Structure 1
């Protein structure tokens, strides 16, 4: 399956340029659904308003009508290859409104699978803060040049090595005091024993943490996303990213249920109104004064002469 082609949007009413976060908050249900080819089948009014469209004008268009041309193609290739393989994708995207104004979104896309086939894509959007936007803009600019961010180019020391080095610095201070008041051999012995004890203690602690770290990597392992979402490239950033992924999955499920419940309630209200209207019409016809003045037809059969 190839990436859906870019469609020409049917532009809605243009509005003055402003901060798009004004009038929108995180409690809004920013949901968009597409079919397996990326054609929009449903969108909430909140998201349509954010994108500068009416909900009906987006139906049937390619989701790429929201795509901003400045983002590098490799990002979208990663997005489509991930969701077409049946996996969820989380990331920052720069979108384009109907009036051409850009807006950043934090998006979580889930493929809906039925009998082994993808039948729908569900996209849940959130409005990111400025810090997240700045990180994404910086990282994407570097990636567009075919390079890695400097944080990922630096050599990374393991957590155990870093903690042992910190402990050694503390023991060096203690050894320096010992050198002043004890023989050299005793001072070296104290320093060596301290280093060994520190390394063993950290190794034992690291065993439990390593198992936790491996479980988090089964959820998500994306150094670029980790840098954008957490600002860190170490193990702590990895754990934070996996927690954020789980939280986002739960949020997507909650929003889908919220929208479904809202639509059911709306349809129930409309159906109730139709039933009441039909009932009132029937009652009016039954008890209408004009109905009683109408002549009754003689239903008795005519006798033959």
Structure 2
């Protein structure tokens, strides 16, 4: 793997409302970047288009993290994670990224990446986990042992039974065997009750896993791999998707605004050139004016929708 150097260890802070957009083809070659990508990476458009996206990869990012990314998106699933990117001059910036595969006619044709400012808490947790991966202390594919919700409840129940069992043995002549049997029966009943009572929670956890199932990045975002962390991680993914849609709309509206401005300038030039022509030419100018007004109105509506989506997200 190519190591991008030099590095300065100087962090570049992203603006709160920054949205960095890019698309690549199925092989990971950059096909589109927005102005924010150029601004923060320090590379020019010519240096980025047609190049592999790892041109901004920072050497502090473990290869396992990108293996995790590619294995996810190649299976036609969205990926979300905290990434440290390298600027052209060696500085770095952290992003909260979501990468989504785009499928046409049953085939993945491109990948869309939307990145925003990462929280300091997520950055610090990611740094620690990525260092652990480099030091072979954290394995990407290995699940940490977890009792789960039912297991934890049963453990707590058993612990609460211990003093009761000890008290019964001390104050009565009942055989320890009978106490043990009674405890086992009670435990079996408790297990069934707990399993039944938590079925809605388990259903919610399964739904969360259907939304996103990535133990490594779940650990990065939440610090845990239990059921509650799965739910929180899935909620973050859904929020990120909504914010991503608003980001795409905002970016498209800016391009539409530029196009409508260009059209308006063309209309102004046409007005000067057709003042001596017949009424049919005048009608053509009027039609262009109407098209320009409509384009501007659509642009304003899209911008308004973007602001509303940002408020919701």
TM-score range, shorter chain: 0.7 to 0.9
Aligned residue in 2 for 1:81: 71
Q: Does 1:167 align with 2:153?
A: no
Aligned residue in 2 for 1:207: 199
Candidates 127, 130, 150, aligned match of 1:140: 130
- Listed as ranges, the matches of 1:226-245 within 5 Å are 226-245=218-237
Aligned residue in 1 for 2:104: 114
Cα pair 1:33 1:41 within 8 Å, conserved: yes
Give the superposition deviation at 1:209: 1.9
Aligned residue in 1 for 2:50: 60
- Listed as ranges, the matches of 1:41-56 within 5 Å are 41-55=31-45
Give the superposition deviation at 1:267: 0.7
Cα pair 1:87 1:111 within 8 Å, conserved: yes
Greater share of residues in helix:
2
Cα pair 1:8 1:65 within 8 Å, conserved: yes
> What SS does the corresponding residue of 2:221 show, helix, strand or coil?
helix
Q: For 1:199 and 1:215, how far apart are their aligned partners in 2?
A: 23
Give the superposition deviation at 1:173: 5.8
Residue by residue, what CA displacement relative to the aligned partner does 1:79-102 show, whole Å, maximum 9, x if unpaired?
A: 233323433222222211011112
Cα pair 1:45 1:54 within 8 Å, conserved: no
Q: 1:172 to 1:268 in 2, by over 3 A?
A: same
Q: For 1:237 and 1:169, how far apart are their aligned partners in 2?
A: 25
Give the superposition deviation at 1:249: 2.2
RMSD: 3.5
> What SS does the corresponding residue of 2:198 show, helix, strand or coil?
helix
Give the superposition deviation at 1:241: 1.5
- Listed as ranges, the matches of 1:5-16 within 5 Å are none
Q: What TM-score, normalized to structure 1?
A: 0.74
Cα pair 2:3 2:59 within 8 Å, conserved: no
Q: For 1:161 and 1:226, how far apart are their aligned partners in 2?
A: 21
Q: What TM-score, normalized to structure 2?
A: 0.72
Give the superposition deviation at 1:261: 2.1
Give the superposition deviation at 1:48: 1.8
Cα pair 2:12 2:92 within 8 Å, conserved: no
Give the superposition deviation at 1:169: 4.1
Q: For 2:58 and 2:10, how far apart are their aligned partners in 1?
A: 18
Q: For 2:148 and 2:71, how far apart are their aligned partners in 1?
A: 31
Q: 1:168 to 1:84 in 2, by over 3 A?
A: closer
Structure 1: state its 5+ residue gaps.
Answer: 10-15, 287-305
Give the superposition deviation at 1:149: 6.1
Give the superposition deviation at 1:224: 1.3
Q: 1:247 to 1:95 in 2, by over 3 A?
A: same
> What SS does the corresponding residue of 1:134 show, helix, strand or coil?
helix
Aligned residue in 2 for 1:276: 268
Q: 1:170 to 1:219 in 2, by over 3 A?
A: same
Cα pair 2:18 2:117 within 8 Å, conserved: no
Q: Does 1:105 align with 2:95?
A: yes
Q: 1:149 to 1:38 in 2, by over 3 A?
A: closer
Aligned residue in 1 for 2:13: 21
> What SS does the corresponding residue of 1:275 show, helix, strand or coil?
helix
Q: 1:246 to 1:7 in 2, by over 3 A?
A: same
